[in-house]
Chains A and B, each alone.
Chain A
Amino acid sequence: MAALCEGYTLCGLVPALNQLKSEIQGIEEERDCDHVIVTDSTRSVTLYKVSDQKPLGSWTVKQGQTLTCPAVYNRETNEYVAVSDNKVVRIWKEDDIVLDKACKAAVSADVRMVHCPHGGEPVVLFQGGAVRQLDALLSAPQQPIEEVLVQEETIRWSASIVAETQQLIIFTTELKGDHFLYLQRVNPNSVQRYRLEPEGPGLSPLSFSASYRDKNICLLYLYPKGHVYQSLVSVRVPPADEGAPAVPLPRHHLLSLPVGGQLLEAASAISLDDAHIAVVGVPHPSAGPGKDFLCIWNTNFQTLQAAKEMAGKLYGQLWCYSSKLFIPHGKTLSVVPFACPRSSLASALGKLKQLKTEETKPPTLVPSWNAVFHGEKAAPPKPVESRKTRTTRKTQSAPSLTTDQVQELIKTAPAEEVQKEVESLLSRQELQDLQPSLGQLALSLVSRSLADPAFYSSSTLTQLVHTQCLSHSVCPDLLPLALEKKDYFLCQLCLQFFPDIPEAVTCSCLKAFISLPDADAEKLSLEPDSVSFMEMLISSEHAQAGLQNGFSPTSCKEDGTDAIDGPQTKAKEKEKAPPQQMCPLGSHKAALINEVLQTAYSETFLLPHLKDLSSDHVVLFLQYLEFLYLRYSTDSFPQTHGYRSPTLNQIMDWVCMLLDAHFTVLVMTPVVKSLLLNFQHFVRSQVRLFSELGKIEGSLQELNNMKRTKDVGQYSIEIIELY
């Protein structure tokens, strides 16, 4: 769930003369995420340290001159670049005190904007649509600048993006009510022109936001009616012929913001990640008019995730740098940090925490042997309360890192350190508070592990999964990674705690588990309860000899084979019957498979994947299921043992699915014949049991009646005795 954190004021604003725009012309990130430069609409550029809410320096142009484009910071050279009076490019460093003494150069055409994206060079966009690299421009300031745009075509918005190695300038223009998008590549230069689909007469986009995602430029734009569109522009499209007519830009309606019948005047939407957008200047759906809100919407689920009322007038301006939103409102410029964790449908609906896991794990009153012998280390996760008490103890000693810092750490630090920090983070904070960031932690851990094969921190991931705050949709690569790394303990935990594992993944787990050699499996350290459950199941098999619920294997054999089989086969089968009771799998392997049996699935989606199992595996799996069924149907088997274990229904469902998926194969395989016959016996004995029960139903009813109506008739003479 995305969240807006408590905001703080960065600086005050002088009320602008123009009521529609604030005095802020632009905000650019400086050397790191904590520094920004703010260009106001008149004459000054100010450098702020955001976390301190403090200006570090300020530069002003002379009276009479104005800055016409926001200052940018060139990280390569640590220089600031701005343009005054449209034509004078000014370049200065932080220790320059007076701006007029710094380097300046007059160019021959009006400059629209200077862009300097991360990892790119400063680029100058002229009002005529031409683009020059700053270095090239400065080498010959008075060089002629061509006009790309036609007369009356004006630039409305521009941005610059570095896509892999290619630097791109994107700008939109307006010509007689039509809007165009230009994609200008720098070095080699080429331009593409797209036409935006018209929204309606007089409706022009209020704001644009561009981001680079999956080799596409993702353009987000907002119209006054509250419609938010997204267009994807491929970076790699070969440049079209010069002068070709503008291609219509395909767009996709992302979201309809509630505007309450009015047209928006000043509003802005920017994309935060692939699922979230921040919107300012759009009324809150449930608040009255006249209130100004900053909202985060989830575009996947079309839900409002977070909203914050901003005091004073909003100008429809919004910037976003490294998880901070910069928003001018009223007489202040506020910074609002936010968090947009990957969200699953469940969390969007507010139901990530599954009750099922708590329910299937009733508190065991028996002390766990692990707890006794190995202390707390191997013990299952403590409930939140105990963690809280530990928290207070720990916070005093350890130097604490924030979630962000830990996340940074994950990108570089060795596994041991990561583990330590994550552990301390988990012990320090309430799980509820951590929940949004846990997903990000897991994500970054997984992506590091994927990128760096040497790095794999099993225990950290285990810990994260143990919090039960994660789900498969939050971190889809986790379970495949665990499988790949053969970290079966983690797999087991994931199967246990993730409520939303896709059937394909479930099936690949199953495949991996079945093909695991028993010898290897026994070495695994798995969740102790699941293993001891299996050990109990296997060990009690020798002890039990009694009748099973409605099914006695031997007696059924005798009368189960009908006229089809001759007496000889009957005898043969009798010999075969007893060893069926052995568990075909080792306890560890079985414990893993039990987890698969207990996951949620949908039959339609699971069946196609089940078909991929090899016939050997199917047979083995079926044998194991048969074993489970037999164990479960014995009367002596304690059903209420308190362990997390598959239910009889789950077992039967899997048997049915396996048979469905591999019916022909199974029928053709001679080895399976006895197995199938056994299954048939189960079914037949059950059917028989029910028919017998049906037969005696009448007599039972009669018993009931006899007990109730001891009819005395109209008259009787009885002897009673009172004591």
Chain B
Amino acid sequence: MGEFKVHRVRFFDYMPSAIRAMAFNRQMERLAVARADGAVEIFNFADNYFQEKVIPGRDGRAVEALCWVSGRLFSAGLDGAITEYDLENLRPRYSMDAYGGPIWTLSSNSQGTLLAAGCEDGTVKIFEVLQDRVQFQRNLDRQKGRIVSLCWHPSGGQIAVGMMDMLRIFDTQTGHATQRMLVERGLGASKSREVVVWSVAFLSDHTVISGDSAGKVQIWDGLTGTLIQTHLVSKWDVLVLSISQDESSAMAGTSEGTVVQFQFISSTVGQQDRQWVRTRTFKNHSHDVRALVHTDTAVVSGGMDTQLVVRPLLDKVEKNTQESALRKIAFPHRSLVSCAKKAGLLLFQFPDHLEVWRLGESDGNGAPWESLPVKRKPEKLIQLKRKGEDHICCSTLSPCGGWLAYSTICSVHLYRLQLSSNNISIQKVSKLPRELRSVHQLSFSSDSSRLFASSSLSSVVMVTLDQTEIKHIHTFRHQSGSKQPVHILSPSEDGQWLAAANTDGEIHVFDLQKKTLHCSVPTYSSCPTAVSVHPSGCSLVSVHADHQIFEFSLKQKEFTQWSRQLQRRGLHPLWLQRDTPITGVTFNPRNPAQILLHDTFMFCIIDQSLPLPEERTKLYNQALLRSLPQTQRPRESHAFKIFKNFQHLLCVALMEDRSLVVVERPLLDIMSQLPAPVRQKKFAT
């Protein structure tokens, strides 16, 4: 059916950052994840764990704690500031110094009125959460030694605090410490090292659970300040604890990469004397587990090895369903690669710099399944360091390879490139229109004459690019009232349309000639993860986080026949069971009926002219077809041609010369760049 010359690229040294902190909002079912570089990501657990939003980090911002207060997200870090994020414009709303030195922990009371921050100077600072800011209220009694962890009692009347070598309980009314509980140090050499209480939990029955650097999980009676139980769970540190909402289960994350579950159960069936019993151990990480969230059905963990792991608790979910599958989220759900189709260039986005590469070349053609000799090696043409402290949030390269644009949360940078064979020049465009200031997504038109940028309030700014002048033409707005950021911009090949999708799930199509909103695609419950307009300009294909595929006719403003047929027939179960979202959709210019899609583990060509696969047919049938003689293939083939030889895909793009570029980033390469994990005694080592 189709032969492709594939540029298999593995030189994108993408390195995700370690996970530092997590907070889960049970009402919104959103998980906020803070990484070591200061970036904050929002995952929608109700929508197939889709990574909805990414707030880029900033040099010097080290987030130590995240905290949701009703729909608002706060963070605190070692820079000593409390930050609230603007989740609509994907930037910090404000930052406020707490004046207590580095902040190790931040937690709100269950009423959502107060924030408590544990500081290096030994104070617990209470902040009042106001409508548009937080206001310092008072300090609790200052202690000697830093406050490493804290937890409110659900009533809000007390706070349990983890420090060096001890735990304390404060009365929030008086601000005085009411209990002091000494934590035993480790044995042997670590006897002389003070023990850090990394995490503490305070239950409504006044039980205090602590996890410390000596590897212990201890259970205390908070009323009397007495130790009830000690569980030694690790030779190294217990870094984080998380309690289920009904307080019947606790998780502890350790430096060994394990997550240990404790459950509050009676030792014999039918008796009332319940106690905390160590039950299960999960090992899904190779490195420290730094952040842990106990949702109702799963334990979500993250740490040094950069992967977010959702491990369903099999007693809480139905077995053998999609919900019961383990999920590891290792790659971002957006593209960090952009491709200049005509020029054969690749742009790689890193938090602090950009790289432009030219693809290699080979001689002539070869038979399928052969590697061609590389005549010219790929070369890195430009490495561009960003300006300022803010990390890069988006970047793009024009199809002709003549323009490069990137954006941080506060500014957009545009460069003019000249890349003849031996003369490379890059020139910054200095004067940009006012409208291009804070953008979330950038895209060039196919003829490279326009730049589109998604801006605040879901608007899209269009500027024209000229050798002499950059002019703001129009700002497209829609009337739906959604303020969510636009995360996908897709201009059509013919320059007629621009599709913009926001995280509310809306897809708006603007007419670029008339500069009006052409139509809005009916909103689907799941967020679009990839949108593209057909080169002919007649239809739009959107793929959503729940793996559904829609084709919308721009002429008739309704779903096409094929899309309806697909919905009627339903997608193949195996297709729906994939656990990474489709992050790219393109079309094959040679064959207008072919749609190219890819997720992390496969790429797929959907041929709309072929029959859709039935539920019982084999979805992954490429190997079977390959083994059949030519004449029998049509009988077996169906619309979904899934190719799984390339793994850990960050980008699949079709170039002008009809060759395919796949950018892979093998997980092993990422793992090999991680620091060594804590030493564990293995047998015979």
Contacts and interface: CB of A to CB of B under 8 A. Distances in A.
Nearest to A715: B378
Contact of A716 (B367, B374, B660): B374
A720 interface: yes
A598 to B, nearest CB: 36
Contacts of B366: 719
Given A715-B11, A715-B360, A715-B377, A720 B641 contact: no
B645 A720 contact: yes
Interface string A385-396: 000000000000
Contacts of A715: 7-11, 360, 374, 377-378
Give the secondary structure class of A's interface: strand
Contact of B7 (A717, A721, A723): A717
A238 B362 CA distance: 118
B360 A723 contact: no
Given A713-B10, A723-B625, A718 B2 contact: no
Interface string A401-423: 00000000000000000000000
Interface in B356-381: 360, 362, 365-372, 374, 377-378
B626 A718 contact: no
B4 interface: yes
A721 B626 CA distance: 9
A156 to B, nearest CB: 52
Given A716-B374, A717-B362, A722 B10 contact: no
A268 B633 CA distance: 93
Contact of B622 (A714, A717, A719, A723): A723
B3 to A, nearest CB: 5
Contacts of A714: 9-11
B1 A722 contact: yes
B360 A720 contact: no
A703 interface: no
Contact of B369 (A712, A721, A723): A721
Nearest to B368: A721
Contacts of A720: 3-4, 6, 368-369, 643, 645, 660
Nearest to B374: A717
Contacts of B360: 715, 717
A593 B370 CA distance: 65
A181 B126 CA distance: 93
B4 A719 contact: yes
Contacts of A713: 10
A722 B643 contact: yes
B605 interface: yes
A722 B597 CA distance: 14
Contacts of B539: none
A421 B360 CA distance: 97
Interface string B282-310: 00000000000000000000000000000
Contact of A723 (B11, B633, B660): B633
Contacts of B5: 717-719
Contact of B371 (A717, A721, A722, A723): A717
A39 to B, nearest CB: 55
A717 B359 CA distance: 10
Contacts of B3: 719-721
A716 B370 CA distance: 10
Contacts, number: 74
A718 B8 contact: yes
Nearest to B604: A722
Given A717-B360, A717-B374, A722 B605 contact: yes
Interface in B1-46: 1-11
Given A712-B8, A715-B10, A722 B2 contact: yes
Contact of A712 (B10, B622, B641): B10
A718 B625 CA distance: 20
B1 A718 contact: no
Interface residues of B, number: 34
A716 B377 CA distance: 9
Nearest to B11: A714
Given A723-B622, A723-B626, A723-B637, A717 B10 contact: no
Contacts of B645: 720
A554 to B, nearest CB: 43
A707 B367 CA distance: 22
Nearest to B622: A723
Interface string A694-723: 000000000000000000111111111111
Contacts of B369: 718-721
B641 A718 contact: no
A721 B377 CA distance: 23
B521 to A, nearest CB: 29
A719 B370 CA distance: 6
A36 to B, nearest CB: 51
B370 A723 contact: no
Interface string B97-130: 0000000000000000000000000000000000
Interface string B645-663: 1000000000000001000
A717 B365 CA distance: 10
Given A715-B11, A717-B372, A718-B371, A723 B1 contact: yes
A511 B71 CA distance: 91
- Name the residue in A713, A721, A722 with the highest tally of chain B Cβ atoms < 10 Å from its Cβ: A722
B418 to A, nearest CB: 25
A721 B643 CA distance: 9
B68 to A, nearest CB: 42
A118 B10 CA distance: 103
Given A716-B371, A717-B362, A722 B8 contact: no
A714 B377 CA distance: 10
B438 to A, nearest CB: 36
A719 B10 contact: no
B372 A718 contact: yes
B503 to A, nearest CB: 33
Nearest to B365: A719
Contacts of A723: 1, 622, 625-626, 633, 637, 641
Interface string A607-644: 00000000000000000000000000000000000000
B371 to A, nearest CB: 5
Contacts of B362: 717
A716 B8 CA distance: 5
A445 to B, nearest CB: 51
B287 to A, nearest CB: 24
Nearest to B626: A723
Contact of A719 (B1, B368, B377, B633): B368
A498 B318 CA distance: 51
Contact of A717 (B8, B605, B625, B641): B8
A713 B2 CA distance: 25
Nearest to A721: B368
A722 B11 CA distance: 25
Given A712-B8, A713-B10, A714-B11, A719 B372 contact: yes
A615 to B, nearest CB: 48
A720 B658 CA distance: 13
Contacts of B660: 720
Nearest to A712: B8
Interface string B364-404: 01111111101001100000000000000000000000000
A720 B623 CA distance: 12
A275 to B, nearest CB: 39
A722 B652 CA distance: 15
- Name the residue in A712, A714, A719 with the highest tally of chain B Cβ atoms < 10 Å from its Cβ: A719
13 contacts: A717-B6, A717-B8, A719-B5, A719-B365, A719-B366, A719-B367, A720-B6, A720-B368, A721-B2, A721-B368, A722-B2, A722-B605, A722-B641
The 8 closest A-B pairs by CB, nearest first: A723-B625, A721-B368, A717-B362, A717-B372, A714-B11, A722-B641, A716-B8, A721-B3
Given A712-B10, A722-B605, 20 more contacts: A712-B8, A714-B9, A715-B8, A716-B8, A716-B374, A717-B5, A717-B360, A717-B372, A718-B6, A719-B5, A719-B365, A719-B366, A719-B368, A719-B369, A719-B372, A720-B3, A721-B3, A722-B1, A722-B2, A722-B643
